[in-house]
Amino acid sequence: ETGVTQSPTHLIKTRGQQVTLRCSSQSGHNTVSWYQQALGQGPQFIFQYYREEENGRGNFPPRFSGLQFPNYSSELNVNALELDDSALYLCASSFRGRNNYGYTFGSGTRLTVV
């Protein structure tokens, strides 16, 4: 059973640029959630994707967007990067329909905006 894999592991971008982060969900999982974890803080919910549609969104502006693909993998896109977007971005997959509570997190992508 493969876990959740995220790429890249580290990324440095300039303010105003755009970034795409990728996530492959755990085998058998059909739901992907994205979280932002600032240094020294708990993860904050960005949004969740189920059946290729956004299924819940946290308090993040529209410049944070995502996609889920038929194979349940997902992308997180952030436009017009700001310095405060520097954080660890975590992807978590789960299976909706049975045991709705099981999250498996990836190791994250560390984004630094300069």
Partner 1 sequence: QQQVKQSPQSLIVQKGGISIINCAYENTAFDYFPWYQQFPGKGPALLIAIRPDVSEKKEGRFTISFNKSAKQFSLHIMDSQPGDSATYFCAASFHYTGNQFYFGTGTSLTVIP
| From 22, 30, 75, 103, residue interacting with partner 1 (rule: CB under 8 A) | 103
Binding of partner 1 at residue 51 (CB under 8 A)?
Answer: no
How far apart CA 30 and CA 24 sit, in angstroms, is 11
Binding of partner 1 at residue 94 (CB under 8 A)?
Answer: yes
| From 24, 25, 26, 31, residue interacting with partner 1 (rule: CB under 8 A) | 31
Binding of partner 1 at residue 43 (CB under 8 A)?
Answer: yes
DSSP class of residue 99 equals -
Binding of partner 1 at residue 60 (CB under 8 A)?
Answer: no
Q: How far is the CB of 57 from partner 1 (least distance, A)?
A: 9
Unique residue bearing structure tokens 């992807």: 91
Binding of partner 1 at residue 92 (CB under 8 A)?
Answer: yes
Would you state the torsion angle of the CA atoms of residues 85, 43, 48, 69, taken in this order, to the nearest 10 degrees?
Answer: 70
- Select from 11-19, 41-49, 60-68, 69-77 the region that touches partner 1 (CB under 8 A): 41-49
Closest C-alpha among 78, 67, 77 to residue 15: 78
How far apart CA 54 and CA 62 sit, in angstroms, is 12
| From 24, 26, 33, 74, residue interacting with partner 1 (rule: CB under 8 A) | 33
Give yes or no for a contact between 106 and 3, defined as CB atoms under 8 angstroms apart: yes
Would you state the torsion angle of the CA atoms of residues 46, 52, 56, 58, taken in this order, to the nearest 10 degrees?
Answer: 10
Return residues touching partner 1 (CB under 8 A): 4, 31, 33, 35, 40-45, 48, 50, 55-56, 58, 90, 92, 94, 96, 100-108
